[in-house]
Amino acid sequence: METQCCIAGGGPAGMMLGYLLARAGVDVVVLEKHADFLRDFRGDTVHPSTLQVMADLGLLDEFLKLPHSRIDHLDGWFGEDRIHIADFSRLNTVCPYIALMPQWDFLNFLVEKGRAFKSLHVLMSTKVTDLVRENDRVVGVKAISQTGEMEIRAQLTVGADGRHSTVRAAAQLAVQDVGSAIDVLWFRIGRDPNADAQDFGHIKKDHMLISIDRDTYWQCAYVIRKGDAEKVKAQGIEAFRQSVVDTDPALAGNISDLQSFDDVKLLTVGIDRLNHWSIPGLLCIGDAAHTMSPVGGVGINLALQDAVATANLLAEKLRSGTLSDADVEAVQRRREWPARAVQAVQRLAHHNLLEKAIRGEITRAPLFARVLSRSPWLQGRLAAFIGLGVRQERVSSPRHF
Ligand SMILES: Cc1cc2nc3c(=O)[nH]c(=O)nc-3n(C[C@H](O)[C@H](O)[C@H](O)COP(=O)(O)OP(=O)(O)OC[C@H]3O[C@@H](n4cnc5c(N)ncnc54)[C@H](O)[C@@H]3O)c2cc1C
């Protein structure tokens, strides 16, 4: 198979890039190893910057008809201190809130809308296994599907295959580990849809719990020390349930939803980034270029912004067959510092908040949190950082059809 751009991975970065390139008249193949997008725990946050992208594409009204809930502010508890963290309603953007929507709905929507473009080919159940090289250039990928092995040749190959990227490993791109001392246990607890909206984060004794309102359930993240999952499990499910309820009593009513540790998934948290996002013929974006911690729920946002920037910079050149290696390198120059800035803040939050919280060193709100809580302006700035990112990308790639 031959195409202009072959994208490994149909996550937020890969599907958005596929959509944008096809919209710009580029022939593009997206390879996704799973048969569908129905996988849990990949984050369900659609940020204001992404909603702005949907508006840029003329898709917003239809997109917002999909079932979703909205968060316009974040509050949390440090022991007995209630802290206002971020206020999205202060943002000057088309949708000043985070929309919570299952990620499979978002990705299915993009695939559905992408059917309008004949040059978009999404191959599900197709796993990239290796790169194809010729004369020190990447000229495509090897992949395997239910019908057997295949080779897809492309002017540009994009690794958008996430934090365990096969592409970046095959390209032997050097990875810089920024480090993380935490892991997260993820689970759901039933919620009465008529219940009052609840606070977002709780830090108590040596626990930290984030509960995200998903209408009929709470998506909960219980922060533990890296490597402590087995220790938590050894204490038994009843001790774990008790700890969850002690941290957030509002979860007591449906805590029996946690029947065993089969209902609890471990997320091994990592923060890393590539030194070089590209080599001749290949570019990595999204988590494949910079794996993000779940802190701030910004990984999807950054991955999508990478896709928008890549299409803005490369679509026309790919379409006209004039793409150079220097054009591809420009993507890293544009997107590396936003990723680095967010990772630096995530690292600070890990070090000064999460790691201290799980060591039991935080009993009340630290000074910075109290200052933040008293300043609506700062809450607006933090909302802008989380919701729009440090360099907001707007769609400027052309529409050709
Ligand atoms: C438990 C958890 C919770 C999270 N919560 C949030 C949140 O609330 N908000 C947020 O913004 N971020 C969250 N994140 C981070 C977020 O999921 C990532 O930053 C974001 O999904 C990155 O997007 P991506 O498209 O680069 O990669 P991914 O979303 O990882 O997508 C990569 C895709 O490539 C496919 N793939 C992988 N290997 C291959 C292969 N060899 N061949 C073909 N296809 C392949 C995968 O199946 C996947 O569909 C969370 C992450 C985890 C793990």
Residue nearest to atom 18 of ligand 1 (CA): 299
Sign for the CA dihedral angle at 235, 241, 246, 248 comes to positive
Residue nearest to atom 45 of ligand 1 (CA): 9
Structure-block tokens of residue 58? 């003329």
Q: Ligand 1, residue 13: give the atom nearest the CA.
A: 25
Q: What per-residue confidence (pLDDT) applies to 111?
A: 96
Instruction: Indicate if 25 and 161 belong to the same structural domain.
Output: yes
The mean per-residue pLDDT over the stretch 260-271 comes to 91
Report if residue 287 sits inside a domain. yes
* Statement to judge: residues 350 and 289 lie in one domain: yes
Q: Which domain holds residue 186?
A: 182-268
- What's the mean pLDDT in 174-183? 88
Q: How far apart are CA 143 and CA 125, in angstroms?
A: 10
Asked whether the predicted pLDDT for residue 174 surpasses 90, the reply is: yes
269 vs 324, more confident: 324
**Minimal-distance CA residue to ligand 1 atom 15:** 299
Residue 23 clears pLDDT 60, i.e. is over it: yes
Please compute the mean of the pLDDT values over residues 248-275 and round it to a whole number. 91
Residue 396 lies in a domain: no
Examine the pLDDT at 123 and tell me if it is beyond 90.
Answer: yes
- 292 Cβ closer than 6 Å to some ligand 1 atom: yes
Residue 185, SS3 per DSSP: strand
301/315 Cα distance (integer angstroms): 20
User: Does 397 reside within a domain?
Assistant: no
Whether ligand 1 lies within 6 angstroms of the CB of 42 is answered as yes
Sequence-distant (≥ 6) Cβ neighbours of residue 291 within 8 angstroms = 163, 270, 271, 272, 273, 299
161 within 8 A of 303, measured Cβ to Cβ = no
Chain-centre distance of CA 370, in angstroms? Answer: 29
Examine residue 311 and state whether it is found in any structural domain, yes or no.
yes
- What CA–CA distance (Å, rounded) separates 316 from 306? 17
Q: In whole angstroms, how far apart are CA 369 and each of 99, 198, 241, 379, 382?
A: 25, 19, 28, 10, 12
| Mean pLDDT, residues 2-28 | 97
CATH number of the domain bearing residue 60: 3.50.50.60
For residues 316 and 234, state if they share a domain. Answer: no
- Phi first, then psi: give them for residue 173, nearest 5 degrees: -80, 135
Q: Is 167 in the pocket of ligand 1 (CB under 6 A)?
A: no
Q: Looking up tokens 């570019």, which residue turns up?
A: 283
* Among 300, 305, 308, residue to substitute to test ligand 1 (most atoms within 8 Å of Cβ): 300
Regarding predicted confidence, which is higher, 121 or 100? Answer: 121
Instruction: Give the pLDDT confidence of 317-350 residue by residue, as tens digits.
Output: 999 999 999 999 999 999 999 999 999 998 888 8
DSSP classification of residue 295: G
Q: Is the CB of 343 under 6 A from ligand 1?
A: no
Phi–psi pair at 278, nearest 5 degrees? -140, 155
Tally of domains in the chain: 2
